[in-house]
Amino acid sequence: MRRGKVLMERFESAVLTGNPARDPSVRTVPVYLPPSYESSPDRRYPVVFVLAGFTGRGRMLLNDNPWSPALDDRMDGLIAAGCDEMILVLPDCFTRFGGSQYLDSSATGRYETHLVEELVPWADARFRTLPGRDHRGIAGKSSGGYGALTLGMKHPDIFGAVACHSGDMYFDYCYRGDVPRFCAQIQQAGGLERWLERFESKRQKSHDDLLTLNVLGMAAAYSPDPGRPPFGIDLPCDLETGAFREDVWARWLSCDPLAMLDARVEALRSMRRLYFDCGVKDEFNLQHGARLLHRRLDALGVPHEYEEFDDGHMNISYRYDVSLPRLGKALAG
Amino acid sequence: MRRGKVLMERFESAVLTGNPARDPSVRTVPVYLPPSYESSPDRRYPVVFVLAGFTGRGRMLLNDNPWSPALDDRMDGLIAAGCDEMILVLPDCFTRFGGSQYLDSSATGRYETHLVEELVPWADARFRTLPGRDHRGIAGKSSGGYGALTLGMKHPDIFGAVACHSGDMYFDYCYRGDVPRFCAQIQQAGGLERWLERFESKRQKSHDDLLTLNVLGMAAAYSPDPGRPPFGIDLPCDLETGAFREDVWARWLSCDPLAMLDARVEALRSMRRLYFDCGVKDEFNLQHGARLLHRRLDALGVPHEYEEFDDGHMNISYRYDVSLPRLGKALAG
Amino acid sequence: MRRGKVLMERFESAVLTGNPARDPSVRTVPVYLPPSYESSPDRRYPVVFVLAGFTGRGRMLLNDNPWSPALDDRMDGLIAAGCDEMILVLPDCFTRFGGSQYLDSSATGRYETHLVEELVPWADARFRTLPGRDHRGIAGKSSGGYGALTLGMKHPDIFGAVACHSGDMYFDYCYRGDVPRFCAQIQQAGGLERWLERFESKRQKSHDDLLTLNVLGMAAAYSPDPGRPPFGIDLPCDLETGAFREDVWARWLSCDPLAMLDARVEALRSMRRLYFDCGVKDEFNLQHGARLLHRRLDALGVPHEYEEFDDGHMNISYRYDVSLPRLGKALAG
Amino acid sequence: MRRGKVLMERFESAVLTGNPARDPSVRTVPVYLPPSYESSPDRRYPVVFVLAGFTGRGRMLLNDNPWSPALDDRMDGLIAAGCDEMILVLPDCFTRFGGSQYLDSSATGRYETHLVEELVPWADARFRTLPGRDHRGIAGKSSGGYGALTLGMKHPDIFGAVACHSGDMYFDYCYRGDVPRFCAQIQQAGGLERWLERFESKRQKSHDDLLTLNVLGMAAAYSPDPGRPPFGIDLPCDLETGAFREDVWARWLSCDPLAMLDARVEALRSMRRLYFDCGVKDEFNLQHGARLLHRRLDALGVPHEYEEFDDGHMNISYRYDVSLPRLGKALAG
């Protein structure tokens, strides 16, 4: 099998310099170049930005696993089986809160801007990409699927195809149920700052730790509040009384793809390909949101492809076998 | 140690005859008579109705356990240690949906009426109780705590003291997060009827099975709808689209003790004793609701006793060691 | 349905008086009397001693459960469906180490003697039993199944039929794998005495707690050693080095029904009925032992009935629906 | 921070060509070159072979993780903090049975030979290593720790220092308890061949799946039997009767480091550094074996360093922070 090549690129981000969460502004951005890249020096390729899920970053998509190929090996295999050759760019938008949801937030930094205004032009300049949104796609799983779908909605001039696997949506079902436990965890730790310190110092993160980080990460993305100590984040609960905060929740909901949809219908309609799927046993209940999105798009007459598969939320990178060839076909020159 | 005696009374309920869920109208109602009951034939005793939690019934409170005494043994021990002697009545308000929340519902039956209008007078007639609400208390844990608290709110003429352990309240935190999974389970089974059939035929009930039954049981109690096949129950989700149903949820919320409070303040104020507690690690997040209730009662100037303990929701019958002596003192002649 | 009656008998045991583990010598022994017992004052009935599993005692067999009848209700139902009427005696052989395996041990007490020499004659004297081993059976599940099988082997003059559900056997598979963790738990606690103190004071027993108690309980039964402080028990591991102790293990193995078999073949051959079964997913791997026993009995030409069922080790009291009618038929007058 | 470099080397193994398990003979062997490697073209470095655990291979040691650095990043950090610069070679000895235990087996292939006779000379030829056993170490965790310790025992002429984290030893405690469940899993699947097929086709591997693979992998390593279909492996249980096979087990035990010790004392005594550790909560009970080894080495007067840490078996790559600097110091020129 002919193999592509992975470059571990070092990217110094101006946009992320001095970011409020004090995360690094220099990031490692792995880039997959397809098998013919070196031997065909005049050829240009479509490019797909692949976004990691929560607590992930690009390099993690290359992690080796005994029974599931890393993304580079997977791509080699797909290409060998007939998939169009593509460049894959694997951004790092990780933060100390576990992720950024790939959007601009006063609490974490301008990750959407970093991606769209820095990485996209950089990739075009540095690699032989086919220029233009018609040859540029975006894909991801979980929070990466959220990023792919919403960046497609917001930047149809930049991205011409979207693949979203088990993406965060219908926040009432995928996040809200975790708020009470989040609240208890933070209260027990004696506040956000102490909780985060402890979390960072723990060798083994428990299920409750990661659940709590997840809510915190979402709050950092969806309800930042520059005036609120210690982290400039409004929480969906009142730490003193424990009560749910409907006002903060309303801010979260405005970031829900289902809520964003009406204002972004034409963006999605313009996609050369819009693919999304979800497992019917998704532990975060995301299949409900995916079905609602599917139903809404049908009603709106927006072309798309929707699949369900018999699995949960974890260890489903094999779903890229379904989406990447479709993106390849849609974005090919 | 002097021991009391348990009678397993057979009660034929007129109120439950022909109940819509086709549950039995004849129930076994265990009654605990204190040690001196037989030897002091002229003495009268306070009476406490103790309500079992969801999936429970009175007899279950007598279940033996190697390291936690059954309620009769516990009561013997408390009395030996100085607690006032009391009669305990252990109603059976179980239904095929797992419970009744001790209220009248067109989907399950009139369990509140059964308790208040049948069992209370029956107990007074059949046993040497001290008559009157000042000598009659109500207690329970979990859904039984919900029952104790709300029956106290609704019938201050009947009950003069309340003890509520880890009671259902603040439904936004204790039930709502389970709706998405409930919805998926029912959808996967092919509808409510099929789900219930399968549930009943399964030897081993899984965690998801019991979570699903819990939501169904609450819907049977809080949002019955006589016209809705197959069971006359409105669900908090649309089984076709999967969407949350805010209209049904509003009906549930009206049964939340926190929502009922304003109209029932004087009932609670009239209690000779109002005790409630919750574990700080409650798996159903009930500590948040308990704190909100405590805060509200404080603001309203309603006397009450509130405790938190370092435990979760399960296997906490030792909390009766705290509440029963207080009820005894409040209700003694 | 005609119903039997349960008497909660108080039994003062001479044999258990001053037992080494300082457990009570007065025990509650529930006795089930069949529906016709009162109305047919001249009739005599077969009797079956039903033994609870580890951490259990007779009263626990009567525990109520929403979807699985207690043993008295189950017996009522079986009799209504045609099963012979029988008296059931439910002994209490619990100890502070979680159980006694129904044998005489210098560490716990003479539970075998208590059962065979005290309870059996008492039951014959106090109730209208059909006298003689041909009308007396013994049954149980898990450690109770072990007790039923081994007491049948050792006392064919007393018991004429045996039913063993998921009984402890093939100790290499059902106990040995737990020794390393047991050892670690005791070491971490700082010795047996401290471990037991902590265990007894914990409100919630963890999985590791119960695993540890199980090994301790078996050691108390199979390898007592009067000279060994603090409890007169030899352990299957060296608490100082952590090493497995083959010498102690050899003592355990001598109590394994598979090892006892050769010397007790004729006892088993004499049974009017020998029934045993096991779930194919038994969490303690007991199905392997059951199959080996079945194979050995076949080779020896000992009549028996063996069944496997598609379930694990817990919540399988429905298996009494299979065994009790067979015992009834075998023991009927 | 100055950074080293990782080369993903492609290694065509003559030794593994035509291996019996039909695993690839071409492997990716990542090699870490320290920061000064390129800028100091005349300098030579110690080399450490780092062995992955069961179900792992060298590349997996480089997997990215949000809160625990990959081995290359970890090494960069250690060197920045003063650790001697070293080359790290990360072999791939994975097989379809989950691993090879880094030994020669007629069932899997000659992985020990591959490592010692192929990779060692190749590394010396291809990279600027300091030649000789005094500058060559071997390290690993879990099955990799087993490999490091036993290869050190067997090849003191090749390796001059050993670091073993939570290594497999005292097989009575770390493997034997899993045999009954292994046996049941294979029986239920209808034999080894079917089990392996199903295993390989399952997207999600369950806990029982991995436990079963573990026993199979150990049997492939410790009790191969060329004449035994389908895989040339003797199992520690009889699949027909379910019984434990003491004869096969004796073969396993001969591969236990504790059993190998007596014949290899001088090899270990010759090490420039012998380091091992284990977590006190090791889920595979390996702390017991580690302590026994420590005790034996002490008794034999073999210099070594032994540590225990407060953790379990998983996610403990941070222990390399302890071992790698010690290896560096021991192996430096």
pLDDT digits (tens, 9 = 90+) for C185-201: 999 999 999 999 999 99
Residue D149 neighbours by CB distance under 10 Å? 28
Contact A64 D55 (CB under 8 A): no
Are the CB atoms for C119 and C11 separated by under 8 Å? yes
Are the CB atoms for D57 and D92 separated by under 8 Å? yes
| Strand partners of residue B129 | B45
Q: Do chains C and A touch (3 or more CB pairs under 8 A)?
A: no
With H, G, I as helix, E, B as strand and everything else as coil, classify residue B187. helix
Kindly compute the dihedral angle of the four CA atoms of residues D58, D62, D68, D74, in this order, to the nearest 10 degrees: 90
Contact A60 D65 (CB under 8 A): yes
Distance (Å) from the alpha carbon of D288 to chain A's nearest alpha carbon = 22
Helix ranges (H only) for chain B are: 71-80, 111-113, 120-126, 143-154, 171-174, 179-189, 192-201, 207-222, 246-253, 257-260, 265-269, 286-300, 320-331
Contact D244 C183 (CB under 8 A): no
**Nearest residue to B93 via CA among B109, B76, B69, B74:** B109
DSSP code per residue over A150-218: HHHHH-TTT-SEEEEES----HHHHTGGGHHHHHHHHHHHTSHHHHHHHHHH-SS--HHHHHHHHHHHH
Instruction: Report the percentage of chain C scoring pLDDT > 90.
Output: 99
For helices C179-189 and C207-222, the axis angle rounded to 10 degrees is 100
Contact C59 B64 (CB under 8 A): yes
Instruction: Report the percentage of chain A scoring pLDDT > 70.
Output: 100
Distance (Å) from the alpha carbon of C7 to chain B's nearest alpha carbon = 11
Question: With bands split at pLDDT 50, 70 and 90, how would you rate the model's confidence at D315?
Answer: very high
Interatomic CA distance for residues D162 and C293, integer angstroms: 48
Distance (Å) from the alpha carbon of B89 to chain C's nearest alpha carbon = 16
B310 burial via Cβ count (<10 Å: 0-12, 13-18, 19+): exposed
Q: Which residues of D touch A57 (CB under 8 A)?
A: 64, 66
**Mean pLDDT taken over chain C:** 98
Q: Which residue of C has its CA nearest to D185?
A: C281
Contact C98 B66 (CB under 8 A): yes
Are the CB atoms for D73 and D163 separated by under 8 Å? no
Whole-angstrom distance between the N-terminal and C-terminal Cα of chain C? Answer: 24
Buried/exposed B163-173: b ≥16 CB within 10 Å, e otherwise: bbbbbbbbbbb
pLDDT of residue B1: 83
| Strand partners of residue B89 | B31, B49
Residue C131: half-sphere exposure toward Cβ, Cα within 13 Å: 5
Interface of B with A (CB under 8 A): 172-174, 176-181, 183-184, 188, 241-244, 280-281, 285, 287-288, 291-292, 295
Are the CB atoms for D45 and D34 separated by under 8 Å? yes
Q: Which residue from D56, D66, D200 is facing A55, i.e. has the nearest CB?
A: D66
Distance (Å) from the alpha carbon of C61 to chain D's nearest alpha carbon = 29
CB pairs under 8 A between A and D: 47
Contact C181 D285 (CB under 8 A): yes
With H, G, I as helix, E, B as strand and everything else as coil, classify residue B324. helix
Q: Does C333 have pLDDT greater than 80?
A: no
pLDDT of residue A190: 97
Instruction: Count the helices and strands in chain C (H runs, E runs).
Output: 13, 10
D28 backbone dihedrals φ, ψ, rounded to 5°: -90, 120
Interface of C with D (CB under 8 A): 172-174, 176-181, 183-184, 188, 241-244, 280-281, 285, 287-288, 291-292, 295
Distances (CA, A) of B176 to A284, B96, B179, D136: 14, 22, 6, 60
Buried/exposed C107-116: b ≥16 CB within 10 Å, e otherwise: bbbbbbbbbb
Tell me the residue ranges of DSSP E strands in chain C: 5-12, 26-33, 47-51, 87-89, 104-105, 109-110, 136-141, 161-165, 273-279, 305-309
Q: Does D79 have pLDDT greater than 90?
A: yes
Q: Does C134 have pLDDT greater than 80?
A: yes
Interatomic CA distance for residues D183 and A166, integer angstroms: 37
Residue D213 neighbours by CB distance under 10 Å? 23
Q: Which residue from C56, C94, C204 is facing B315, i.e. has the nearest CB?
A: C204
Residue D171 neighbours by CB distance under 10 Å? 21
Q: Which two tokens stand for residue C33?
A: 């009397």
Residue showing tokens 């088990």: A166
Q: Which two tokens stand for residue D80?
A: 């920045």
Residues 6+ apart with CB under 8 A from D248: D219, D223, D234, D235, D236
Long-range contacts (CB closer than 8 Å, 24 or more residues apart) made by D62-68: D62/A64, D62/D6, D62/D30, D62/D90, D63/A60, D63/A63, D63/A64, D64/A57, D64/A59, D64/A60, D64/A62, D64/A63, D65/A60, D66/A55, D66/A56, D66/A57, D66/A60, D66/A94, D66/A98, D67/A200, D67/A205, D68/D315, D68/D317, D68/D318
Q: Does B123 have pLDDT greater than 80?
A: yes
Q: Which residue from B184, B243, B280 is facing A287, i.e. has the nearest CB?
A: B184
With H, G, I as helix, E, B as strand and everything else as coil, classify residue A237. strand
Contact B62 C64 (CB under 8 A): yes
Residues 6+ apart with CB under 8 A from B50: B58, B61, B71, B88, B89, B90, B138, B139, B140, B144
Interface of D with A (CB under 8 A): 55-57, 59-60, 62-67, 94, 98, 200, 203-205, 311-312, 314-316, 318
Interatomic CA distance for residues B5 and A328, integer angstroms: 78
Q: Identify from A1, A26, A64 which residue to disrupt to test chain D contact, counting D C-beta atoms within 10 A and taking the largest count.
A: A64
Q: Which residue from B177, B292, B295 is facing A176, i.e. has the nearest CB?
A: B177
Q: Which two tokens stand for residue C235?
A: 């352990």
Contact A285 B178 (CB under 8 A): no
Distance (Å) from the alpha carbon of A298 to chain B's nearest alpha carbon = 13
Contact B204 C65 (CB under 8 A): no
Interatomic CA distance for residues B289 and B278, integer angstroms: 9
Residues 6+ apart with CB under 8 A from A262: none
**Which stretches of chain A drop beneath a pLDDT of 70?**
none
Distances (CA, A) of A57 to A92, A102, C90, D63, D239: 5, 11, 62, 12, 46
Q: Does C1 have pLDDT greater than 90?
A: no
Q: Which residues of A touch D99 (CB under 8 A)?
A: none
Q: Which residues of D touch C174 (CB under 8 A)?
A: 180
Interatomic CA distance for residues A70 and A86, integer angstroms: 16
Q: Does B5 have pLDDT greater than 80?
A: yes
Mean pLDDT, rounded, for D150-155: 98
pLDDT of residue C21: 97
DSSP code per residue over C51-89: E--TT--GGGGG---TTS--HHHHHHHHHHTTPPP-EEE
Residues 6+ apart with CB under 8 A from A267: A152, A153, A154, A155, A156
Interatomic CA distance for residues C85 and C181, integer angstroms: 45
Q: Does B333 have pLDDT greater than 90?
A: no
Q: Which residue of A has its CA nearest to B173?
A: A180
Distance (Å) from the alpha carbon of C140 to chain D's nearest alpha carbon = 23
Question: With bands split at pLDDT 50, 70 and 90, how would you rate the model's confidence at D333?
Answer: confident
Q: Which residue from A179, A241, A288 is facing B180, i.e. has the nearest CB?
A: A288
C285 burial via Cβ count (<10 Å: 0-12, 13-18, 19+): buried
Give tens-digit pLDDT for C189-232. Answer: 999 999 999 999 999 999 999 999 999 999 999 999 999 999 99
Are the CB atoms for B282 and A328 separated by under 8 Å? no
Distances (CA, A) of A72 to A90, B2, B283, D29, D69: 11, 76, 42, 16, 21
Tell me the residue ranges of DSSP E strands in chain A: 5-12, 26-33, 47-51, 87-89, 104-105, 109-110, 136-141, 161-165, 273-279, 305-309
Q: Which residues of C touch B57 (CB under 8 A)?
A: 64, 66
A258 burial via Cβ count (<10 Å: 0-12, 13-18, 19+): middle
Interface of A with D (CB under 8 A): 55-57, 59-60, 62-67, 94, 98, 200, 203-205, 311-312, 314-316, 318
Contact C288 D172 (CB under 8 A): no
Contact C244 D179 (CB under 8 A): no
Q: Which two tokens stand for residue C210?
A: 């119960």
Are the CB atoms for D168 and D207 separated by under 8 Å? no
Q: Which two tokens stand for residue C32?
A: 């089930």
Distance (Å) from the alpha carbon of D285 to chain A's nearest alpha carbon = 19
With H, G, I as helix, E, B as strand and everything else as coil, classify residue A307. strand
Between CA D6 and CA A10, with CA D317 as vertex, the angle to 5 degrees is 35
Distances (CA, A) of A6 to A29, A33, A81, A248: 10, 6, 20, 42
Q: Which residue of C has its CA nearest to D293?
A: C241
Interface of C with B (CB under 8 A): 55-57, 59-60, 62-67, 94, 98, 200, 203-205, 311-312, 314-316, 318
Q: Which residues of C touch D215 (CB under 8 A)?
A: none
Question: With bands split at pLDDT 50, 70 and 90, how would you rate the model's confidence at D36?
Answer: very high
Q: Which residues of B touch C60 (CB under 8 A)?
A: 63-66
Interatomic CA distance for residues A17 and A13, integer angstroms: 6
Q: Which residues of C touch D285 (CB under 8 A)?
A: 180-181, 184
Contact A177 B172 (CB under 8 A): no
Residue A12 neighbours by CB distance under 10 Å? 11
